Structure 1
Amino acid sequence: MDILWTLLTLPYAPVRGLTAIVKVVAREAESQQHSPVTIRRELEELDRAAAAGEITPEERDHGQRRVLERLTGPAAGRTPSPGGGAARRPAPTRRATTDRRGGPRRPGGGRR
């Protein structure tokens, strides 16, 4: 059965090979993207460009934030907005100052 399966899937061999190559390239690109050496080089390049006047300090700060978010992931609780900036957080809700029976809430949540 293995021989028959091999013969039937032989036309797909180039696709399987290409898929394996793409996986290796993607894995290597991801490791390079998160490499501390690469991150440091990009941050130094941003500082050099800002010192030379090629970019504004705001552009440098934005670039540094982007590089560091790539390293650490997006900040907790924030989702990217369509404009590229951080989405607004909803306003915090107020905690009840009374319990279900209408009496004052005690610290720690216990009743008298």
Structure 2
Amino acid sequence: MDLLWALLTLPYAPVRGLTAVVGVVAREAEARQRNPVNVRRELEELDAAVAAGELSAEERDRAEQRVLGRLTGGPARPGARPSPARRGPAREKGVRHDRRRPGPAA
């Protein structure tokens, strides 16, 4: 059965391969963003920009909050609230989902 399934789904192999590659690239990008070494480098660049007069202290504080938010997984903008935990549609208040399939219209 596995051989038959593999033959039948062979045309979808490029899509599965592309999906796997995109997943690997996304994980690597997130790992680099959250890497403490990269975060420290960005914070040092912000301090250097303030020392050179390219940024004001307020702009540095906002940028610093964005960088630290990436590290801690918190909100990216100061004052922004984190998004609520994602729940399935059946668990949302006031939403009712019926799993039965509708029968023929009478």
Q: TM-score, normalised by structure 1?
A: 0.65
- 1:46, 1:87 → 2: CA distance? 22
The structure 1 segments of at least 4 consecutive aligned residues displaced by more than 3 Å after TM superposition are: none
- 1:53, 1:87 → 2: CA distance? 28
Pairwise CA distance, 1:85: 4.2
What are the ranges of 5 or more consecutive residues in structure 2 without an aligned counterpart? Answer: 82-106
What are the ranges of 5 or more consecutive residues in structure 1 without an aligned counterpart? Answer: 89-112
More helix by share: 2
Other-structure match for 1:71: 71
Change (3 A) 1:74 1:46: same
* Percent of matched pairs sharing the same residue: 68
Report how many aligned residue pairs link the two structures.
Answer: 81
* CA-based RMSD: 1.9
Other-structure match for 1:54: 54
Q: Deviations over 1:1-45 (max 9, x none)?
A: 222111110010001111111111111111111101100010011
- 1:87, 1:35 → 2: CA distance? 23
Other-structure match for 1:86: 79
- 1:4, 1:33 → 2: CA distance? 42
Q: TM-score, normalised by structure 2?
A: 0.69
Which one is further off, 66-75 or 1-10? 66-75
Which structure would you say has the larger Rg?
A: 1
